[in-house]
Structure 1
Amino acid sequence: MLDDSPITTLSKVIQWLDDIFDQVDECQVIAFDHRDVAGMNRELGFDNADKLMAVSSEIIRQELACHWDVDFKRLPSGQAFAVIKGCPSKFTERVSDVMQRLKAPLEYHTTGFGATTRAIAEYPSDGDNAQLLVLKLEEKIKEYKRRSATFETASLATAPSFVTRQRLQKAIELQEFEVYFQAIHGVSENRVIALEALARWNHPEHGVLSPLYFIERLTRFELIYDFGNQIFEKAIKQLAAWRRNGARPDLSMSINVSVLQLRNPAFFRFIKSRIEHYEVPPECVQIEVTEENVQCDISTRQLRSITDFGIKLAIDDFGTGVSNFRRIVDIQVDSVKIDKSFLKDIKNPRSKDIFTPLVSLCKAMSPRTVVEGVETEEQRAFVESVGANAIQGFFYSRPAPAAEITIDTLK
């Protein structure tokens, strides 16, 4: 049953919580909040925004109710509170699963608006009354938003034209998005074995802009499919040109693909047609899907249609999501790319103790393990010592346009 009657005030939430606390010795309280309520009201209208918040609240309630007995309330502002009595096992992991569910476009609307922040507090350890606990939750949500803020609270705040759908649509039409390439260096081969295609926006007024300025908004405005296809074709066309000019026959191109592209039934037909048009062997093309997106509702059949054609599949940003290893085993993975965050504190012995078995796990899942973010000689030597197959990072090369990459480095 959809929660169409939100509780009216925060004071009533506090009273509701206090009533629960009188009946239990301990419980977990979760607060969920929408990242951009003002944007939802502006783009969808107040009525539609409220309906969307009701849908996301119902998703939260249903997802949590699959595992526990849940008491649930929401406010008109979009905030929602859930109470789970006791301290159940795997609690944090289950909440993370809910957040992953909400990152996908909601059924009611495909703008990508959703409840994207959450905070957890325990009664009575985090507060022995509802008012203290709610204050604690609000502090955590503010900190969560502050840490996760990127361009929306920084550079884009001074460049509002960047965030409009019309401007991004124009950028696609005018081919303003370009492809930069970063080398992936084979350890045993001691040479470049692949290149990753990375999108940049060549803005006529603001210069070359990184994906932080546009990927999230392209997704929100439902432009990511046209954008992604354009980047894919440019990358394949460039690989074909390098092959004609003497690049090694087995040089491969790795291209990031969004979950929305993979869900589109026309996507496979598109990439197959481009690969055949430019006469590039399918085995020289690799699509990268983040670990997080592998857990989404992309069917194994969709992925197998791609890999059966000969295209390789890589799991990107491995180690940052909640892995379903059965899911990864069910699909044919050719590369696993370990997220660069694991190398930041490599001088810490504990970090090394974690990194080494992580590489072993990746090697068991796929023929190639790529470590991203290698910037120093110390990091390079360590990565090689633990048996990774390939290295990507500033130590070997920075992303660069095709004109700056010499054919000799690709032979």
Structure 2
Amino acid sequence: MISLRILVLEQQAVQRSAVVSALQQLGVAEVLQASSGEQALALMQRQGGIDIALCDLAHHGMDCLDFLNYAGQLSIIQAVILYCDFQPQLQRAIEQMVSFSGLELLGTLSTPIEVKALHTLLQRYQRRAPATTAYPLVTSTLPDEQDLRRGLALGEFRAFFQPKFLLASGQVDGAEVLARWQHPSKGLLLPKDFLAAVLAYDLIDEMFKQLLVQGLSLLGMLRREGHSLELSFNLHASQLLEAGLIDHIRRALGQYQLSGTDLTFELAENELLEIGPKIQESLLRLRVMGCGLSIDDFGVGFSSLKQLCHLPFTEIKLDGEFVRKIQEPGSQAVITSTIALARSLNMALVIEGVSDQKECQALIRMGCEQGQGFYCAQPMSSHELLSWLQAPFMAGQKDD
């Protein structure tokens, strides 16, 4: 028997059963099964970490790559094998990736999975870490569900706001709403500390609704003072599977006498890998309400040009990784091509991760207009944002 602890993450029951059967033929003694990333995280929270995750790259719900990033950050997975009906170019690109948040990519498999090919990839892990090696202890765990529910009930989850701005003038052009947990004993926690647990325990809608109320309250206050500001909220694709959340957003806008044009909703590019009819309908309903739709972390996922053309998105947010490497020809090529793509599709383009004047000026020369990052302002509370807006920082005029 192969002394490995393996997770099979697959939504389709038939395909999941086939993968488990292949592992059992190879003598793998302990196989965990999950149909969604949320379920997998909750399962490992109860039963501990694993050696290898076998993940379907076309996975629904919590996107496969998002799940791997969370699991890697929590140190509950050591290595990963991806499988899908890969196109040759996509397979080569994935095989060139070194890791997902520190995870070792053992390789990729096409479907249907062949037992011999699977055995070859498992042996790569065995050579790196022999079966006799003691199983590594989990060094970090998800927050406790009871603690999360208590924090939500007591209003400890707070909206922070990070401005978006026009690169050339420094004029504020909106703000992204970011979640923070003001924990009574652990202090101010960032999403990396709790978001995986919020998803795992299916509390993402409750947290979003609280952030929405805080954001709309701020917009109402600004309107009374004669100011306008567009707010961007992050949504997970799984939240759009049911119409209830869209109806909640519509009612909330009516309650605060605000328009859908005041809001933009951001979805990570990785979550667009495969969008079903229900999610497409929800996206369309948001657009009909006047809300903007933004593709977040663009450039690090695997969305297609076909999706960009046919889904009702209005904005692209280019991942900050390309700004950090702006001196490299490859990053420059990605930035300039994304500018051309956004213009051809009549979509706005926001550059994430602008951290200093040098980056800002380089982006302006390349034709970028909108940006977001610490060069303009760090995320701040609603009270801090109100004070900041009274004397906005002019990014284009800052001296280093």
Regarding TM over 0.5, the answer is yes
* 1:360 equivalenced with 2:348 (yes/no): no
| Inter-partner Cα distance in structure 2 for 1:284 and 1:324 | 28
Return the match for 2:269 from 265, 279, 291: 291
Return the match for 2:43 from 40, 45, 55: 40
Residue segments in structure 2 that go unaligned for 5+ positions in a row: 1-13, 30-36, 61-76, 96-102, 110-116, 131-136, 394-400
| Inter-partner Cα distance in structure 2 for 1:83 and 1:257 | 26
Distance 1:89 1:384, change over 3 A: same
| Inter-partner Cα distance in structure 1 for 2:82 and 2:257 | 55
Residues 87-106 of structure 1 aligned to structure 2 (within 5 Å) = 89-90=88-89, 92=91
Counting matched residue pairs gives 326
Deviation at 1:181, TM superposition (A): 0.5
Return the match for 2:254 from 276, 293, 308: 276
- The residue that corresponds to 2:7 in the other structure is none
Return the match for 1:408 from 370, 390, 397: 390
SS of the residue 2:295 aligns to: strand
| Inter-partner Cα distance in structure 2 for 1:267 and 1:226 | 10
**RMSD value, Cα:** 4.2
Deviation at 1:246, TM superposition (A): 2.6
- The residue that corresponds to 1:185 in the other structure is 165
Deviation at 1:40, TM superposition (A): 2.6
Give aligned-pair identity as a percent. 21
- The residue that corresponds to 2:235 in the other structure is 257
SS of the residue 2:88 aligns to: coil
Return the match for 2:302 from 304, 322, 326: 322
- The residue that corresponds to 2:107 in the other structure is 120
- The residue that corresponds to 1:213 in the other structure is 193
Distance 1:278 1:345, change over 3 A: same
Return the match for 1:312 from 282, 287, 292: 292
- The residue that corresponds to 2:112 in the other structure is none
| Inter-partner Cα distance in structure 2 for 1:238 and 1:8 | 56
Pair member with larger Rg:
1
Paired residues of 2:168 and 2:364 also in contact (CA < 8 A):
no
Distance 1:245 1:380, change over 3 A: same
| Inter-partner Cα distance in structure 1 for 2:295 and 2:353 | 16
| Inter-partner Cα distance in structure 1 for 2:236 and 2:269 | 11
- The residue that corresponds to 1:146 in the other structure is none
Residues 72-91 of structure 1 aligned to structure 2 (within 5 Å) = 89-90=88-89
Distance 1:290 1:93, change over 3 A: farther
Deviation at 1:383, TM superposition (A): 1.1
Deviation at 1:137, TM superposition (A): 4.3
Deviation at 1:95, TM superposition (A): 7.3
Distance 1:408 1:303, change over 3 A: same
Return the match for 2:124 from 121, 136, 159: 136
Show CA shifts across 1:129-186 (max 9, x none): 99986443457899xxxxxxxxx966xx3xx6x6111111111111100011111002
Deviation at 1:228, TM superposition (A): 1.4
| Inter-partner Cα distance in structure 1 for 2:346 and 2:392 | 24
| Residue identity opposite 1:367 in structure 2 | M
Deviation at 1:402, TM superposition (A): 1.1
| Residue identity opposite 1:408 in structure 2 | Q
Paired residues of 2:180 and 2:189 also in contact (CA < 8 A):
yes
| Inter-partner Cα distance in structure 1 for 2:333 and 2:57 | 36
Q: TM-score, normalised by structure 2?
A: 0.69
Show CA shifts across 1:242-294 (max 9, x none): 221231x3x21111111122112101110001111111221111111111223
Q: TM-score, normalised by structure 1?
A: 0.67
